[in-house]
Structure 1
Amino acid sequence: MDSKFAADARAGAAGKKIGWIGAGKMGAPMIRNLLAAGIPVSVSEPNPAAQTALAAAGATAAGDLSPIDGASIVFATLPNDEALRMVVAGTQSAKGVAERLAPGSVLVEMSTVSPECSAEVAKILDKAGIFYVRAPVSGSTTMAEKASLTILASGASQGWDAALPLLGLLSARQFWLGAGEEARYMKLVLNTLVGASSAILAEAVALGASGGLSRAAMMEVICESAVASPLFKYKTDLVVSEDYTPAFTIQQMIKDFTLISDAGRSNGVPLMTAGLILELYRTAANAGLQNEDFFALVKWHSGISAQQG
């Protein structure tokens, strides 16, 4: 972690309350990075075990949204559209972010959600005078732990300026993309390519295996070829060992490709390849692989090839 960046973030956060909503697989390591930099964080997280772990690391944590009351900047890492709507608009029994934060405060929402939901939330927050920054991240849980994520951001520039020093403690790269939902679309663009990489690698590896090639040999050559990518290099050990312990599951990829397909349909963009890939993930999930890493498509496709052989 860059010590100057940490010092700037501490200076920028001085006298401000920093809140965080959602301490799951991605949220928890990002919160710990802020705590490690000396930034106090008040966390809303329903899981008692996660609350205890973060409290031990120095955070203030509770199961409802009360920890964010009075916060100047609030980050959110949430599972889906429904959770985002509920957190922002509230419920009949509990106030949401729009009522809990003062005008001029900032919400930095870092989840993968639909552009439509994000635009709905933007209207609610704009009416409340809250600066809304869409800041989905690209990267794995390991990258979250190492603060080497890529942040894709758009929305209120005033909120971006306020949050950037803190975001610098969570990421290696930050891209500002526009004043609206551009970051949401950029995340879907990246996830389309990431999900497609697993699908095409599954077919390529099955073809090579039919000709006597080992996975180890194939991955070594692939990662030194014109089609090499950081993703393929990162997943090499997983593919060779067939240990598909998930960094990102097939079920999560189904969620993302559903968002991709819906966005294409809404905007009149034909996504025939993405639609086929979504069906591949659904079929693999139906075969019992839903909770394995999304590169388990390699195992699933190899199984099909063995049956047909």
Structure 2
Amino acid sequence: MSKTVGFIGTGVMGSSMARNLMKAGFPVNVYTRTKAKADELVSEGAKWQEDVAQLAESSDIIITIVGYPHDVEEVYLGDQGIIQHAKSGSYLIDMTTSSPKLAQQIFEQAKEKNLHAYDAPVSGSDIYAEQGKLTIMVGGDKEHFNAVLPAFEAMGQNVVLQGPAGSGQHTKMCNQIAIASTMMGVVEAITYAEKAGLDTKTVLESIQFGAAGSFSLTNLAPRMIEGNFEPGFYVKHFIKDMNLAIESADRMELPVPGLKLAKELYDRLSEAGGDNDGTHALYKYYKMMAEDQ
């Protein structure tokens, strides 16, 4: 019999991830602060839980994908949190992009109660979440990894154990650093094509399959061109991720000028009201700059 999964956080990515777990045969308990966000999953067979404590007590594997590190801290370390209420031997998997230091703290406190904690942030779009094709970067003990691998494989195709606790979060910082500068390049390329009087869709036919090719160019540039800025990943959450990466890089005394420039541009987009757009909405800010010239 499959282990029961408790899933906390049914946002843009989480709903599809929980749904794919059910499709793979896992019984799923679900909780989110706004119950209406879980209604569709409940109608499909997920079992609603009234709070975090109840979910933890009734699940074997507990997966969280919430908004910010302070949410992660509350959900795991609070008096009514997961560590206080999970059954001995349970597996705890935080898939939020959060602080490597916090991931290590959760791991140590979980270990004291015979709980097996993993930090496992994801990369990919809302579409990849729907298709179960996410990249999952995992930190935690190798000893218990195979026990939770089937759950990971229900949600993603590229699942890699990176090392001890915190390693998943550090790997996600690498991912976000790469995306930040890449997104600036993609947006500048599309804006340049427009200024040069080119057909941007035709330009994409060439450059997305050459050396400039990237996920952002292939999947997000078409949305830019169409004026579709619906979020596969929110600007506000990307800013949070960049802040975490900058803080971590600063602790290592590592200069990250490209990341800091991207963060500055996204801050300006946020100030202009773009928090709830997708990350590719940076294009709108570049358009405004081009029109001001």
Q: Is the 8 A contact 2:76 2:83 kept in 1?
A: yes
Question: How far apart are 1:282 and its partner, in Å?
Answer: 0.4
**1:176 aligned residue:** 161
**1:201 aligned residue:** 186
Q: Does 1:84 align with 2:72?
A: yes
**Cα displacement string for residues 21-68 of structure 1 (whole angstroms, at most 9, x for unaligned residues):** 222221111111121222211112221212322210101113411122
How many residues align? The count is 292
Q: Does 1:301 align with 2:286?
A: yes
Question: How far apart are 1:170 and its partner, in Å?
Answer: 1.1
Question: How far apart are 1:213 and its partner, in Å?
Answer: 2.1
Name the SS of the counterpart of 1:177 in structure 2: strand
Q: Is the 8 A contact 2:137 2:172 kept in 1?
A: yes
Letter in 1 for 2:21: L
Q: Does 1:24 align with 2:14?
A: no
**2:109 aligned residue:** 124
Question: How far apart are 1:158 and its partner, in Å?
Answer: 3.3
Q: Does 1:115 align with 2:100?
A: yes
Q: TM-score, normalised by structure 1?
A: 0.89
**Cα displacement string for residues 194-241 of structure 1 (whole angstroms, at most 9, x for unaligned residues):** 122211222233333332223223322221321112331111321221
Q: Distance in 2 between matches of 1:152 and 1:43?
A: 23
Q: Is the 8 A contact 2:186 2:216 kept in 1?
A: no
**2:197 aligned residue:** 212
Which stretch shifts more, 276-285 or 216-225? 216-225
Displaced runs of 4 or more, over 6 A: none
**1:269 aligned residue:** 254
Q: 1:129-140 counterparts in 2 under 5 A?
A: 129-140=114-125
Q: Is the 8 A contact 1:202 1:302 kept in 2?
A: no
User: Structure 1: where are the runs of 5+ without partners?
Assistant: 1-10
Q: Distance in 1 between matches of 2:195 and 2:7?
A: 50
Letter in 2 for 1:176: L
Letter in 2 for 1:110: M
**2:33 aligned residue:** 46
Q: 1:224 to 1:155 in 2, by over 3 A?
A: same
Question: How far apart are 1:108 and its partner, in Å?
Answer: 1.2
**1:33 aligned residue:** 20
Letter in 1 for 2:97: T
Q: 1:74 to 1:37 in 2, by over 3 A?
A: same
Question: How far apart are 1:189 and its partner, in Å?
Answer: 0.6
Q: Is the 8 A contact 1:20 1:68 kept in 2?
A: no
CA-based RMSD: 1.6
**2:145 aligned residue:** 160
Question: How far apart are 1:193 and its partner, in Å?
Answer: 1.2
Question: How far apart are 1:99 and its partner, in Å?
Answer: 1.5
